Amino acid sequence: MEHALQNFPEQFNFQPVVVGSVNMSQIKRIVVCGMGGSHLAADVLSACYPERHIIIHSDYGLPFIREDEEADTLIIASSYSGNTEEVLDAYELAKRRGLLLAAVAVGGELIRRATADGVAHVVLPDVGIQPRIGLGYNLRGLLVLLGDEAGLAETATLATILDVAAAQKQGEALAKIIRGKVPLIYASNTNRAIANIWKIKFNENAKIPAFMNVLPELNHNEMTGFDVAPAAVSLKEPFHVVFLSDSTDHPKIKRRMDVCKALYDERGVGTSVVPIVGETFWQRTFSNLLIADWTSWHYGTTIGAETEQVPMVETFKRLIES
């Protein structure tokens, strides 16, 4: 895991190739079918391009698609391993319905089927890392499927721009602050995808409970859960809130975040602020997510967690198949 994080920027040197072709000229909406780490790149892509109507489907089957929308909808089956059963189920349903279909994976059953069916696909590098760490590979695979030359060019610069040493230093410092606490990740609704990936990294890298929410919605409900009565004061003690502060957020969101932090501080709830900074969307996103990786890794190593493998997930898969 440590080696993968040290070398994460190199993923943006990956030059993906589409086997086959996808005609994007008629496409008005994109459905990315993926589970776990296999949809994180699509989450970020959707945040970058809200106008492209990218739908993330993390379930069996497909989301509702009207008959008059079928001809201009692209289904992308995304499974890092290529063997995710929910994604394979979506792939087969899309094929039966005659929908425009593409796939992205390192190999496995998904690439085998795509090859046999003549479905356009991208093969990601099989370097033995967990899906949640292969975010750069996956993103560039999606970008090439969409024919996004500008996105490919912009993300390629991250190979030299991302500062691993700075992110590691920030992550180690933050991990020391929140050790022994349950992280709550708060961000603007615009940065929902980033906050959710932070949560997932704590779950999978550090093997601890973690949760996320967004402003302004949490100011209407979750926030009040920390205004606890004296008899229940112990309920707020396990938590530490990490605010992801973005200078590009709406001014009212920034004000809400400042006030919310002050109210939590007054009530004895630990808080930290991690700025989202960078000149472009991609720089801001991945510089911040690299801090999430190192924070969760340092947290995990200090408590003796297995930071790479996910044994509970593997056990769960065996049990549902038995």
Mind listing the pLDDT tens digit for each residue in 54-70?
A: 999 999 999 999 999 99
Name the average pLDDT for the chain.
Answer: 96
State how far the Cα of 302 lies from the Cα of 306, in Å rounded to an integer: 11
In terms of CATH, what superfamily is 162-302? Glucose-6-phosphate isomerase like protein; domain 1 (3.40.50.10490)
Q: What is the mean pLDDT of residues 139-163?
A: 97
Structure tokens at 150: 């500008």
Q: What are the residue boundaries of the structural domains of the chain, listed by start?
A: 2-159, 162-302
Q: What is the pLDDT of residue 115?
A: 98
Q: How confident is residue 321, by pLDDT bands cut at 50, 70 and 90? A: confident
Q: What is the pLDDT of residues 43-54, one digit of tens each?
A: 999 999 999 899
pTM over 0.85: yes
Token pair 């900074």 is found at 277
Residues of the chain above pLDDT 90, percent = 94
Beta strands in the chain (DSSP E): 18-19, 29-33, 54-57, 73-78, 100-105, 120-123, 182-188, 211-215, 239-246, 270-276
Q: What is the pLDDT of residue 12?
A: 98
Q: What is the pLDDT of residues 82-107, one digit of tens each?
A: 999 999 999 999 999 999 999 999 99
Q: How many other C-beta atoms lie within 10 A of the C-beta of residue 207?
A: 19
Using CA atoms, how far residue 174 sits from 37, 160, 169, 185, 210, in Å, is 23, 24, 9, 13, 15
Is the pLDDT score of 322 beyond 80? no
Structure tokens at 209: 């409970």
Residues of the chain above pLDDT 70, percent = 100
Q: What is the pLDDT of residues 305-319, one digit of tens each?
A: 999 989 899 899 899
Q: What is the pLDDT of residue 25?
A: 87
Token pair 């060019």 is found at 153
Strands 182-188 and 120-123: unpaired
Of the candidates 213, 208, 214, the one whose C-alpha atom is nearest the C-alpha of residue 178 is 208
In terms of CATH, what superfamily is 2-159? Glucose-6-phosphate isomerase like protein; domain 1 (3.40.50.10490)
Beta strands in 198-299 (DSSP E): 211-215, 239-246, 270-276
Do residues 304 and 126 make contact, with C-beta atoms less than 8 angstroms apart? no
Reduce the DSSP state of residue 73 to 3 states and report it: strand
Q: What is the pLDDT of residues 176-203, one digit of tens each?
A: 999 999 999 999 999 999 999 999 999 9
Q: Starting at the earlier edge strand, list the strands of the sheet with 120-123.
A: 18-19, 120-123, 100-105, 73-78, 29-33, 54-57
Q: What is the mean pLDDT of residues 111-128?
A: 97
Of the candidates 76, 73, 70, 140, the one whose C-alpha atom is nearest the C-alpha of residue 103 is 76
Structure tokens at 35: 């589970």
Helix axes 40-48, 192-201, angle to 10 degrees: 160
Of the candidates 80, 74, 65, 69, the one whose C-alpha atom is nearest the C-alpha of residue 31 is 74
